[in-house]
Amino acid sequence: MAAMVLDDARERMGKVVVHTRADFGNIRTGRAAPALVEKLPVEYYGSTVPLQQLAGFSVPEARMLVITPYDKTSVGAIEKAIRISDLGLNPSNDGNAIRLSFPPLTSERRKEFVKVVKGMAEDGRIQVRNLRRAGRQELEAFEKDGDLSEDELSRAQKDLDKLTQAAEAEIDVALGHKEQELLED
């Protein structure tokens, strides 16, 4: 019983870490990265679809992202979606592809992004701790029902705490990398 709870917690905490890292990828660092726009919602033939389903991406140079739509008629819709997004980018449309030029970030903007990333990391840590709490409650319920002994409960709770610390450490490492990436010129 305890092993099932721990495996479930391990899997769910891993998903939280992956999700937090993906959130970090959506923060602009001054370098071109498809992750910044691939989930952007585009109004296409009456429905909203993510940009990654409508176009391919390439990065010909560090501060340039080229978006090549699979269907040339969607160029206008993609350009509009980029303009109304809060990315602060100005798309350049040549009829076949859209070019996004990423200007260098100011130091104030970099510091704002660091604060945003730290908030995302804290949200990830909170989710991990909530999973720990849920796991503890399950374990205590098993102990109360007589399915676990006190020793097994104590051991399982210690293992759960180790899983929590490991997940939080992974988030902290990802945060450190993103912070460094944001602050370098």
Q: Are residues 113 and 168 in the same domain?
A: yes
Q: Torsions phi, psi of 48, nearest 5? A: -100, 125
Q: Are residues 10 and 55 in the same domain?
A: no
pLDDT at site 176: 93
- Domain boundary, last residue among 82, 101, 120: 101
pLDDT digits (tens, 9 = 90+) for 65-120: 899 999 888 888 898 888 888 777 788 888 889 998 877 778 887 888 888 889 99
Instruction: State the Cα torsion 34-170-129-39 to the nearest 10°.
Output: 10
For residue 165, give the H/E element and its range.
helix 150-183
Q: Which domain holds residue 145?
A: 2-25+106-183
What CATH number did the domain enclosing 46 receive?
A: 3.30.1360.40
- Domain boundary, last residue among 101, 129, 145: 101
Q: Which of 29-38, 48-57, 166-175 has the highest mean pLDDT?
A: 166-175
Average confidence score pLDDT of the chain: 88
Could you tell me which of 27, 58, 1 has the C-alpha nearest to residue 177?
A: 27
**Residue range 142-152: average pLDDT?**
88
Could you give the CA distance from residue 67 to residue 46 in angstroms, rounded to a whole number?
21
